[in-house]
Amino acid sequence: MSNQITVTNPATGEVLAQIPADSADTVNAKLKAGHEAFKKFSKTTAYERAALLEKWAELILANKQELAEIMTKENGKPLPESLGEAAYTASYLTWYAEEAKRLYGRTIPAATSSKRLLVTQQGIGLVAAITPWNFPAAMMTRKAGPALAAGCTFIVKPAEDTPLTMIRLVELAHEAGIPKDVVQIVNGKGSEIGPLFTGSDYVRKITFTGSTPVGKLLIQQSAETVKGVSMELGGHAPFIICEDADIDYAVTQALASKFRNAGQTCVCANRFLVHESVVAEFSEKFAKAAAALKVGNGMDAGVEVGPVINKKGFDKIVEQIEDAKAKGATVLAGGTTNHDVEKGYFFINPTVLGNVTHDMNIMQEETFGPVAPIVSFKTYEEAVEIANNTPFGLAAYFFTDNYKRGIFFQENLDFGILGWNDGLPSTAQAPFGGMKESGIGSEGGIEGIQPYLETKYLSIGNI
């Protein structure tokens, strides 16, 4: 296994840290420790676990500036976004601290008077998580919050690009009083740690946020030991704008949904579908607003769009822009980069493309970058058909003040998360999950704790 991970700042190319990768033996020892710790931790009361989660959240908020600076340096997102993520990270812990107290069972009326039937829920065991670099902190607590609330122990492998945030987050968990073996971290390459997680008998649940191909691999690997899997995978979100929409408002939401985190979220708007009667107005206003966004190092004041994460991401986005241009797209904003392959910084200026056709790669593949393709539609049936014509089914957005149209979209879009006149629907108290190849299960809300629970049924006889 590789034994070092080099963490670099995507805005400057500066090496931030060299951290040791865990050996297979260390990973296995931590898995065993997590399994052993479950025996005791699962017997704590919901109130004890809630207090630990609340304390952890409190420490995250008390240290949010430090956490946010680590995030901005290793991920590139502007500092205000990192501060927002710190608060969002804590919100999953406080939400699940409350849910811990609501893990009710039930009694079932029996068919004979001599029996009593009871159903209880209990933590599933050791949970192994693999998390992505785009939300280096929040994607951890969205899993660890409900897992710990349910009485599970937890081990996480962060993305190689952003391990520093996770290291600090786990330290804060321990400072909050969560035992060391109850929340653990391992570092290393996904392809090396993944099989150790999926192959271990100690692990009872794999929870993953990342790309669909890696998710499919983890599902296959988990079959061998019949592990539960929760998968938050890729998206290809349509952003539909109707003729009656408030266009200025839709532009503000489109900017937030498209360019947040430099377009690198799985719920980012990917395909702008605009009614033919308003496409000219929307395109002009949106392109103007996108061109005015300040691009730069996320640590600098006023920066709204940071770099993309690494060369691989950068190359894919540039290739999509070039492919679209070659097939006839018009560049309405951006289309340019500011990068230095030697030093390795990766800025792509917010890009808006018009005259887009369905044969362009950008309409077929997930775009993990600050590029917005616009296509027009004539009828709402056509908009839904274009929107659903993808193996993905994570988020979809629609803008209309007409309630019949809104309900039509709500009922016909095959996506797990819908924003009606809302470009930022994610929140700790609501379920976040995808249909089709976008995932299995939901995180957040009352749904988000179920994957970490086992159901136990007890039949008492001879009464």
What is the binding site for ligand ADP (CB under 6 A)? 130-132, 157, 159-160, 190-191, 194, 210-211, 214, 217-218
Looking at the Cβ atoms of 50 and 159, the one nearer to ligand ADP is 159
Measured CA to CA, the distance from residue 130 to residue 45 in angstroms comes to 27
For the beta carbon of residue 63, count every other beta carbon within 10 angstroms.
17
CA 400 to CA 245: how far, in whole Å? 4
Q: How many CB atoms lie within 10 A of CB 246?
A: 14
3-state secondary structure 116-143: EEEEEEEECCEEEEECCCCCCCHHHHHH
47 three-state secondary structure: helix
Q: How far is the CB of 10 from ligand ADP (least distance, A)?
A: 13
Instruction: Tell me which residue has tokens 């676990």.
Output: 49
Smallest distance from ligand ADP to CB 259, Å: 18
**Which CB atom, from 44 or from 225, has the smaller least distance to ligand ADP?**
225
Query: Which amino acids are annotated catalytic?
Result: 232, 266
Q: Residue 197's Cα: distance from chain center in Å?
A: 20
Q: State the Cα–Cα distance between residues 385 and 271, nearest whole angstrom.
A: 13
Q: In the structure encoding, which two tokens stand for residue 409, read together?
A: 């979209």
Task: Name beta bridge partners: 337.
Answer: 348
The least distance separating ligand ADP from the CB of residue 76, rounded to whole angstroms, comes to: 14
Q: Do 127 and 143 touch, CB atoms closer than 8 A?
A: yes
Other beta carbons within 10 angstroms of residue 391's beta carbon come to 11
Residue 432 is given by DSSP the state: B
Report how far residue 103's alpha carbon sits from residue 127's, in angstroms, rounded to the nearest whole number: 18
What residue number has its CB nearest to ligand ADP? 190
Contact 295, 338 (CB under 8 A): yes
Q: Encoding tokens for residue 63? A: 């240290």
H or E element, residue 270: strand 269-275
The DSSP 8-state label assigned to residue 450 in this structure reads: G
- Contact at 8 Å (CB) between 142 and 92? yes
Count of Cβ atoms closer than 10 Å to residue 102 Cβ: 10
CB within 8 A of 91, min separation 6: which ones?
57, 427, 428
CB of 221 to ligand ADP, least distance (A): 8
Distance (Å) of CA 76 to CA 66, 111, 261, 300, 414 = 15, 62, 8, 11, 32
